[in-house]
């Protein structure tokens, strides 16, 4: 039996733990198959081969945010981490984030939070600066009590969302992943808050663009929600994967590394 979790973040993006610490936590948790899926970078995932041993296989992955909807994310697995188109997309997304970080500081300053970029960059250890780094800096400074409060009051508000960063379309995400030899999976469909009709329309589009699988099991899904996506995947000849979206307790206190049992692996390693 494989004990899997195919959606994990590290310090290469907004996770708390380094790839090596994460692999150790997964071993302690009893996993034998995990994937490193950082936002917009394969810097952590590139360490996957050196973290794998006879007890644990670590797959290199990525999570890309698509431009169409706020929570439309595409996971890529088994990527060639030297692929040029993938690296060039990651580079352009990093540049977008580097532009946005100044706007984010200005935004928070305008809300009377006199946070500096240095305070955020002290927490961001990788090349990707993401909103959870700002949230953690705000907790550390005492501006808010929890990262959740930082998102609720500042970082996930309509006003915040006027600050844009460049994002590829879902079709572009899938195409880049395929071009790098990977498989593309629709991440956490339940996070979109769509009704059944909207989900089926979006799935049709994703299938047209070549999506290979759905993250049917997700840490915050109800059993009914997971079953719905398992059925949808089966009906459309897609595979189902399972992922927690673990970021570490300092980033997302409620989410632990998952322990989904898979007799057959969702895709070829
Ligand atoms: P970014 O890609 O920099 O815009 O940041 C997105 C990340 O922020 C997501 O991957 C989550 O880790 C986190 N995030 C987004 N919205 C929320 C929220 N409402 N509460 C907690 N974390 C969130
Ligand atoms: Mn994240
Ligand atoms: Mn996501
Ligand atoms: Mn994620």
CA 208 to chain CA centroid, Å, is 23
Q: How confident is the model at residue 193 (pLDDT cuts 50, 70, 90)?
A: confident
Find, among 64, 13, 65, 10, the residue nearest to 35 by Cα.
10
**pLDDT tens for each residue of 206-233:** 999 999 999 999 999 999 999 999 999 9
Q: Is the pLDDT of residue 205 over 90?
A: yes
For position 261, what pLDDT does the model report? 97
Query: How far is ligand 3, taken at its centre, from the CA of residue 71, in Å?
Result: 6
Instruction: For residue 186, give the 3-state DSSP assignment.
Output: strand
pTM of the complete model? 0.96
Q: How confident is the model at residue 127 (pLDDT cuts 50, 70, 90)?
A: confident
Q: How far apart are CA 5 and CA 243, in angstroms?
A: 5
**pLDDT tens for each residue of 92-101:** 999 999 999 9
Which of 37, 131, 243 for a ligand 1 pocket mutation test, highest count of atoms within 8 Å of Cβ?
131
Quick one: which atom of ligand 1 is closest to the CA of 129? Answer: 3
Which phi-psi region, left, alpha or beta, contains residue 237 (left: φ > 0; alpha: ψ -120 to 50)? left
Q: How confident is the model at residue 266 (pLDDT cuts 50, 70, 90)?
A: confident
């Amino acid at each position: 039996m494989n004990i899997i979790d195919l959606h994990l973040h590290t310090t290469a993006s907004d996770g708390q733990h380094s790839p090596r610490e994460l692999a150790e936590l997964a071993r302690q948790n009893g996993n034998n198959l995990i994937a490193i899926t950082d936002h917009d970078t394969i810097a952590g995932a590139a360490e996957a081969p050196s973290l794998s041993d006879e007890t644990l296989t670590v797959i290199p992955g990525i999570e890309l945010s698509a431009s169409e909807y706020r929570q439309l994310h595409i996971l890529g697995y088994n990527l060639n981490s030297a692929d040029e188109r993938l690296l060039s997309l990651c580079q352009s997304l990093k540049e977008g984030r580097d532009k946005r970080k100044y706007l984010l500081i200005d935004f928070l300053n305008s809300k009377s939070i006199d946070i500096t970029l240095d305070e955020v960059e002290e927490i961001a250890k990788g090349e990707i600066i993401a909103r959870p780094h700002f949230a953690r800096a705000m907790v550390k400074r005492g501006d808010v009590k929890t990262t959740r409060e930082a998102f609720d009051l500042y970082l996930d508000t309509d006003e915040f969302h006027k600050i844009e960063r460049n994002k590829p379309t879902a079709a572009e995400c899938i195409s880049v992943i395929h071009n790098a030899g990977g498989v593309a999976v629709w991440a956490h469909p339940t996070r979109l808050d769509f009704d059944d009709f909207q989900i089926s329309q979006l799935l049709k589009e994703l299938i047209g663009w070549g999506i290979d699988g759905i993250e049917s099991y997700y840490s915050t899904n109800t059993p009914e929600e997971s079953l719905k996506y398992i059925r949808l995947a089966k009906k459309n000849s897609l595979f189902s994967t399972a992922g927690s979206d673990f970021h570490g307790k300092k980033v997302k206190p409620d989410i632990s590394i998952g322990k989904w049992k898979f007799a057959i692996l969702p895709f070829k390693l």
